[in-house]
Structure 1
Amino acid sequence: MASVSTSKAEVSYIQSGLLSNPPLRADGPSQPALHPLANGSAHLSIGQNPHDGGGGTEVLAAAKLEVESVNPGKGEGMDGGRIVCTVSCSPSAFPHLSSSALDDLQHDLTTLLHETLAHPSLHPSNLAILAGKKSWLLNLDCVVLADAGNAHDALFMAARAALWDCKVPRTRGVEYKAAAAPAAKVAESGEMDVDRDAEAQQSGFDTRSIARAVDFELPDYWDEGEVLGGRERWPVCVTLNIAAPPPGSKGSLVPYLDAIQQEEAATPLRLLLAMRILGSGELDSDQIRAFVDTGENYARQLWDALNGKLKDEDIRRGQRARDRFARRSYKAANTPSIL
């Protein structure tokens, strides 16, 4: 995020190392690492020191569902549900930033994540509850706990992991119907005798006469339900940091991954492939196409590695649920009854 103070000498030294063949970097290549997932959340850390476990970029993400009324006019809800993403940054991760600069950073990250994940093409199909009445609001809250560089990629990986694991409780509509009105009786005087209760049941103000779902119930427990529709579509982000030679010198642009903070400060351009360009440098259309192709290869590797972790977690949690059910069944079958 280029949020550290770096002198001109440091910038020149870092750029020289990045442009050398092979590139020389301060921390060497860093590999992404995932922590086990909790229910609807993720804890991700990349670039930690393999010896003492310190340093690195660390992000927490949590997906939470809540019911809201459909009222688009007041901005409270939408038919079919909606998604709201929020990113906050721990002050301890950016001790050199003022409070206003930290607010700006949080706003930029929130905008990037929300505009990407709340796009209609990614909208889950199972956030509706009652058409025109109730829907799910999916809140995705992310916290950057530490930033040693490459926070954008870590943020999107944590978000994808949390959304992958999020489950939507099943709902069942509840209808209210009026009981059948009793037949009218003819009194001895020849006048029609109508039951007063029958009149009340036919009243337009009696909710029992409504023949459509007006409420819902949850047949699932809090940790059960269906996975988000289309969860395979949640994207990852790959940041190509583009090192440029000094003005007037010969040389080509060099893309690299997993920049530390000092490298970010010394790099004039960063290309976020899903997709936004950050920095003060310039790229022509041919260079953008070439870097997009390069980034796509990296993105596929990241996608496959992250999906492998998520699917392993699905298997582990499914086995844990089956073991818990078996223990409960065994205990119920072997508990003596008291007459």
Structure 2
Amino acid sequence: MALCEAEKTFVLHGVEENFRIDGREREDYRPMELETNIVSHAFGSARLRLANTDVLVAVKIEVDVPYPERPREGKLEFFVDCSANATPDFEGRGGEDLAVEISNSLAGAYRSPEVFDLTKLCILKGRKCWKIFVDILLLECGGNLYDAVSIAVKAALWDTRIPLVKSVTVDGNNIDMEVSEELHDCQKLDVTGAPIMVTVCKIGEQCIVDPSAAEELCSVGALVISVSRNKFSTILQTGSGSLHPQTLLECLQTGHKVAQRLHDALIETLVDIKPSENSVGFLR
């Protein structure tokens, strides 16, 4: 996407007047549509549509060996795939850098035990643990990828069920596990503290959230703020511009406030989803 100077001026003036080109105010999000339990072969899944941004997340689980330095913890890994159909910029190897950046940001945001307790994934100290693979597919890009990905990941982990290990038998180097074969004999992951990312863009003299693709082109700088349990877990600056210290403080305050609002709306939505329902819209 490319904007002429007149279009950029129009976007700028709208932000200054707190009336953006799609009718939103500066701290408003576009409508979201969330689906869970949509990938049959996954242990958990979710799909989030945020206007023209479309993200699919599937969670897989396997048995692995804990890291030697963290024998009581399981493993959590993120992989991002940028579909070539999402945007022409992803053709060839165009999306690889963005995919690595998003996966690294997620890994950093989930690193703290206060955010996600990996000890719950330990089966046998130093010998066996659950390893969770979170696969993220970017189907369409309409701006604000980080926020959409973080919400979809949290919803997919909420939907994930860990098989119940009934018994573990150790015979020398041989370890036998008995896993329950009952479909509903499993445990849910606790993701109430899982982070939500909020992208705060500086356009003109104002800060906005949930930038559209056009607004991202008008931004002089942006922060991706990851918030968990009222605390900042990671902060990433994107774009080529720099931010004044006062602007940085304003972005952090805005991101913290909006992240709490998103978290409350998401948890309320996930709790209300009935077993027979898998699609729901929120923040309309």
The normalised TM-score by structure 1 is: 0.69
| Pairing partner for 2:2 from 2, 5, 15 | 5
Q: Larger % of strand: which?
A: 2
Structure 2 residues not aligned, in runs of 5+:
25-29, 227-234, 278-284
| Pairing partner for 1:136 from 123, 130, 148 | 130
Q: Specify the SS of the correspondent of 2:7.
A: helix
Q: How does 1:1-339 map to 2 (within 5 A)?
A: 4-19=1-16, 21-25=17-21, 27-29=22-24, 30-38=30-38, 40-47=44-51, 56-70=52-66, 72=68, 79-121=72-114, 122-175=116-169, 214-222=175-183, 224-228=185-189, 230-244=190-204, 253-274=205-226, 275-313=235-273, 316-317=274-275
Which amino acid in the other structure matches residue 11 of structure 1?
A: K
Cα contact 2:84–2:91 (8 A) shared by 1: no
Which amino acid in the other structure matches residue 208 of structure 2?
A: Y
- TM-aligned CA deviation for residue 213 of structure 1: 8.9
- TM-aligned CA deviation for residue 259 of structure 1: 1.5
Cα contact 2:68–2:126 (8 A) shared by 1: no
Q: Larger % of helix: which?
A: 1
CA distance in 2, matches of 1:226, 1:303: 22
- TM-aligned CA deviation for residue 231 of structure 1: 1.8
Structure 1 residues not aligned, in runs of 5+:
48-55, 177-206, 245-252, 321-339
The normalised TM-score by structure 2 is: 0.81
- TM-aligned CA deviation for residue 161 of structure 1: 0.2
Q: Which residue number in structure 1 is paired with residue 229 of structure 2?
A: none
Seen in structure 2, the aligned counterparts of structure 1 residues 294 and 69 have a Cα distance that, compared at 3 Å, is closer
The total of aligned residue pairs comes to 259
- TM-aligned CA deviation for residue 13 of structure 1: 3.2
Cα contact 1:174–1:213 (8 A) shared by 2: no
Seen in structure 2, the aligned counterparts of structure 1 residues 67 and 241 have a Cα distance that, compared at 3 Å, is same
Which amino acid in the other structure matches residue 171 of structure 1?
A: V
Which amino acid in the other structure matches residue 96 of structure 2?
A: D
Seen in structure 2, the aligned counterparts of structure 1 residues 100 and 213 have a Cα distance that, compared at 3 Å, is closer
Q: Specify the SS of the correspondent of 1:43.
A: strand
- TM-aligned CA deviation for residue 78 of structure 1: 5.4
CA distance in 1, matches of 2:126, 2:119: 15
Q: Specify the SS of the correspondent of 1:6.
A: coil
